[in-house]
Homo-oligomer: A and B are copies of this chain.
């Protein structure tokens, strides 16, 4: 296998992979590594302000592949829930603005992480119903702005405290209650690779036009003390990216593919080197397997 020096044209660097870089630097290292697309996060966008962020994106010539993230709407009805929904409406607007600033091929996709059980509650079924209800409330705003809400199933180890949406099947079951243009799902290898039904559910999502984002990173063992930081560089862990990536391609997904890594060692390294490494490992372990 020859690994070329030009990154795969569909590769996108999710900004979380270079977490300690501010937006300007994240954009610079992405473009500097020859990567054509970036996945943005709200916090670094807010840091410079939305207008300035859009300007930076437009000047860079990069595509925008998604904005992370909305969601966290499992609260019971009340002020907390209303604030969360308002914040999601703001995120929808930010998504539309940033995607419009990106180069052609940008995707107005807002990634949604559901949120965990409210403090003191053990009612998982109820929390899951409130996720569906929140999306029903937000969908008209998304549709009006041309934004796709992308429900991300998170690994079941996060169910209590971060995301009550735990499988691709469950995410699709919610998404199909709404138009495909405004509600889809995220396929993230780290979160779904263990699932015996994953290939069938990727096909199902694709058939309905529901794959709004494809994210890759590896699963490391032993899990680190903070399991949020177990996401590893492709090739460093246990995931076979071939079958998953081919399934996503066969399901009709043609968007950018984000590399999103939460990992202390990756964060501690030089962002420019990480961008270059990401392109190389993506070529070796992901794109070479389906081209």
Residues of A in contact with B (beta carbons under 8 Å apart): 117, 122-125, 128, 155-157, 159-161, 166-167, 169-170, 193-196, 219, 221-223, 225, 227, 237-240, 243
Q: Whole-angstrom distance from the CB of A143 to the nearest CB of chain B?
A: 26
Known: A117-B238, A227-B227, A238-B117. A124 touches B157 (CB 8 A): no
**A159-B193, A160-B238 provided; 11 other pairs, C-beta below 8 A?**
A124-B194, A124-B240, A128-B196, A157-B227, A160-B221, A160-B237, A167-B195, A169-B196, A170-B196, A225-B225, A227-B227
Tell me which of B128, B167, B239 contacts A122 (CB under 8 A): B239
CA distance A227 to B226 in the complex (A): 10
CA distance A91 to B273 in the complex (A): 52
Q: How many copies does the complex hold?
A: 2
Cβ–Cβ contact A124 & B166, under 8 A: no
Q: Whole-angstrom distance from the CB of A9 to the nearest CB of chain B?
A: 26
- Nearest-neighbor residue (CB-CB) of A153 within chain B: B196
Known: A157-B156, A157-B157. A240 touches B196 (CB 8 A): no
- Nearest-neighbor residue (CB-CB) of A166 within chain B: B194
Secondary structure class of chain A's binding surface, majority of residues: loop
A122 CB contacts on chain B under 8 angstroms: 238-240
Cβ–Cβ contact B156 & A195, under 8 A: yes
- Nearest-neighbor residue (CB-CB) of A125 within chain B: B243
- Nearest-neighbor residue (CB-CB) of A243 within chain B: B125
Cβ–Cβ contact B155 & A240, under 8 A: no
- Nearest-neighbor residue (CB-CB) of A230 within chain B: B157
Q: Whole-angstrom distance from the CB of A10 to the nearest CB of chain B?
A: 22
Tell me which of B155, B169, B239, B240 contacts A156 (CB under 8 A): B155
A194 CB contacts on chain B under 8 angstroms: 124, 156, 159, 166
Tell me which of B157, B167, B237 contacts A223 (CB under 8 A): B157
